Structure 1
Amino acid sequence: MAKTALATALLGLAACTTPVENTANNDKGQAQMAANLQTHVWTLTQVEGGAKPLPAAASKVQLNFVDGQGLLVKGLCNSMRGHYTAQGQALEIGRLASTMMACSDEQLMAAERQVGILLPQAQTWQLQDKAAAPELEIGFADGQRWRLQGLVKPETLYGTPERVFLEIAPQPQACSHPLMPNAQCLQVRSVTYDAQGLKKSAGEWENFYGAIEGFEHRPGVRNIVRLKRFTNPHPPADASRYVYVLDMVVETSIEK
């Protein structure tokens, strides 16, 4: 029997400031730093110090600051969201809300719990320009320090996305691909929902030739995902003009 878990999406709060000598320049500096913070997704690359070391399973944690006020935490089993305030280099993050999906990976679940406890203990932040990519540093109450590397968001590159829902079958199938001999393609079909959030219809199954950023398919697991679909005005040769980014896993079940 399939075991199903539903996830809900919320958005939290995020902003940033940097101290400068006068009020006018301070306001300008705050706006510029906030813009820089929001144009990138921040992936954890290094952890230093702290009373309790962060588990290796937390190595893919990502922080995404949105709308000048929202913080979204991904890279674990569930996504988390929380409110924060910042004054100068001081950072305060409130209690995090989490989706309620269960994972079979106990180490990942343990890492998620620790991250959920640690982030509200954040005290300082600093944004630095690096030659390769910008770097965000967050300091915590127990002395732990996170370094996170910034990657430009698709929204920055391609603009506002469409929102689409796809059901992804448990098993990929052989498919013809001009650049990949013996290719295996995900099997997907579009899904629509009514105003009450109830499933309305599903399309025909078809091969999916592209990639979904942030999504990792596991054989034997069926998913319904909500995606951001961006249009690339200059796609590479033999590539789709669409760029897909995982927004949320709506439903998942293990097929036996």
Structure 2
Amino acid sequence: MKIHLLLLPFALAACSPLPDAGSPVRSSMNSPDATAGAASTTGSGVLGQYHWQLKDAFDSKGMRIDALFVGAEEPVQLDFTADRLIVINSCNNMSASFSVKKGQLQLGPMMSTSMACPDAARAALDDAIAQRLRGSLGVNLLTRDNTPRMQLVTETGDMLTFTGVPTAETRFGGPGETGFLEVAAQTVPCKNPLIPDKKCLLVRERHFDEQGLPSGTPGEWRPLDQDIEGYSHTPGIRNVLRVKRYSVKNPPADGPSVAYVLDLVIESQQVGN
């Protein structure tokens, strides 16, 4: 039996509400093919409403920056909280403080963990990102074919174009409620008139104190007749998940009124071996 505890002390610390950091960034995001420089602010504003996935990157001579494209399945992604830019799908965990002033994205020093990556290209990705996400960058927001885009221009003239994917908060119209679900190692049969022999996740509620330690009594096991967005179950692996719950407005007659979105896997255990 193998047990892995992942960032458990951090599990509740990251749930604290973010402070109001200023006015939102203004842009013509609702106008087709419109571009706008960001207004002066220290808040994430419209930037925080999307996951920004890298689509194109060219240097000042028009050459594609291949070092920034390691895996097509997991493109470099930027997420903006109230006061930090977080880099997703790099080798190490990377983040920097930021503010937006007069159409410029001002970045503080890039902080990074020191994990070694066995894949040389992914290990080099961290440096390629850090070289470009620093100092002052021009930032423009635009929409094309109803898809939001963000363009960042570095001090050396590199241009990085990102496609915006709405966050869960944007899609469901609110911040959601944080909770914890334990997912049993094996799925169970559950009734569904449209899907014969359907299998469902078996889950129960879990509780943790301010130090991230288990507290209280777990809830009763129950089949969950819906997906947890972002979670892929592996038979034989028991997981404890930090999830966000969102109310679904006007759900279909046969659909759930609550959506679950994976926030973090905090515990993983192999069962039966």
TM-score with structure 2 length normalisation?
0.70
1:220 paired with 2:236, answer yes
1:162 and 2:172 correspond: no
Deviation (angstroms), 1:167: 0.9
Q: Out of 250, 255, 268, which is 1:234 matched to?
A: 250
Structure 2 distance, partners of 1:170, 1:110, is 34
**Structure 1 stretches of 5 or more lacking a match?**
20-25
Write the mapping of 1:49-198 to structure 2, written as runs, cut at 5 A. Answer: 49-50=64-65, 52-56=67-71, 59-67=74-82, 69-74=83-88, 80-87=94-101, 88-92=103-107, 94-97=109-112, 111=122, 113-121=123-131, 122-123=133-134, 124=137, 125-139=139-153, 145-156=159-170, 157-198=172-213
Distance 1:204 1:239 in 2: 23
Q: C-alpha distance in 2, partners of 1:18/1:161?
A: 24
Within-5 A mapping of 1:6-85: 6-7=6-7, 8=10, 10=14, 29-30=39-40, 34-48=44-58, 49-50=64-65, 52-56=67-71, 59-67=74-82, 69-74=83-88, 80-85=94-99
Residue 243 of structure 1, aligned match among 245, 256, 259: 259
Instruction: Note closer, same or farther for the CA distance 1:119–1:238 as it changes in structure 2 (3 Å cut).
Output: same
Residue type at the aligned position of 1:5: L
Cα deviation for residue 184 of structure 1 reads 1.9
Partner of 2:5: 5
Give the unaligned 5+ runs of structure 2: 28-35, 59-63
Alpha-carbon RMSD across the aligned residues, in angstroms, is 4.0
More moved, 179-188 vs 145-154: 145-154
Q: Equivalents in 2 of 1:234, 1:63: separation in Å?
A: 31
Retained in 2: the 8 A contact 1:51–1:143? no
Cα deviation for residue 94 of structure 1 reads 2.9
- After superposition, the Cα gap between the structure-2 partners of 1:193 and 1:17, relative to the gap in structure 1 and judged at 3 Å, is closer
Over 3 Å counting, the alpha-carbon distance change for 1:57 and 1:40 in structure 2 is closer
Distance in 1 of aligned mates of 2:191 and 2:259: 20
Q: What is the letter of the counterpart of residue 41 of structure 1?
A: H
SS at match of 1:235: coil
For 1:228, give the aligned amino acid. Answer: K
Q: Is the 8 A contact 1:126 1:137 kept in 2?
A: yes
CA distance in 2, matches of 1:17, 1:163: 26
Corresponding pairs, count: 244
Worse overlay, 132-141 or 9-18: 9-18
Larger radius of gyration: 2
* TM-score, normalised with respect to structure 1: 0.74
SS in 2 for 1:120: helix
Q: Bigger shift: 238-247 or 43-52?
A: 43-52
